[in-house]
Amino acid sequence: MLLTFQYINANRNRESANSLRILTTQKEASDRRVEALERKTQPRAVTSSQRSRLIASLSDGPKGPVIVLSDWMDMEAKTYAATLESILRDAGFSIVSIWPEVLAMNLPGKSDERPTVILFVEDVQHPPAAAKLIEYGVQQNQISTGMLSAQGDITRGRLKDDAQTPWTLDGNTTVMWVMNRM
């Protein structure tokens, strides 16, 4: 009888240990999913060391006019765009402020597969040297980017300081669009 009792207890202990391992594994997987979701929903930010590296990598090289835009309804993207605009300004780029004809950007694919920043230029085969410098500097600082030829509404707008004056993309200007995250 004692042997049977010890056998039953040993089985229960093994089952409890297995259950505990399973629960621990499930909790660890759940914790990883929560951490990934928290990282994804945290506002994007540029650290002070990233900012310094970006300014250093963008300061030495060709400059040109840059327009920094984002989805007008996405405050997180607008804040991140303002940070990048400030970095470009501090690196010596000329920032052009316009009222664009496009208010939001929607590209195919999952949001975590799209670049953070898209650089629009008049001709992607012959981009302005400044656009290539920006692309390189941003990528060197772990900010995903892509470059596209601008078409349609992204090529037009009105100057902010004179809303009567139309603006049209030219071969020297780069439009930096900060993508929304969702």
Q: What is the mean pLDDT of the chain?
A: 84
AA letter at 120: F
Cα–Cα distance between 130 and 172 in angstroms, integer? 8
Of the pLDDT bands very low, low, confident and very high (cuts 50, 70, 90), residue 50 is very high
Q: In this model, does residue 18 exceed pLDDT 90?
A: no
Nearest to 121 by CA among 60, 159, 66, 54: 66
Of the pLDDT bands very low, low, confident and very high (cuts 50, 70, 90), residue 3 is low
Cα–Cα distance between 133 and 11 in angstroms, integer? 66
Burial 123-132 (b: 16+ CB within 10 A, else e): eeeebbebbb
Burial 9-39 (b: 16+ CB within 10 A, else e): eeeeeeeeeeeeeeeeeeeeeeeeeeeeeee
Residue 145 φ/ψ, nearest 5 degrees: -145, 160
Mean pLDDT of 149-171: 83
Full-model pTM? 0.75
Mean pLDDT of 136-160: 86
pLDDT score for 155: 78
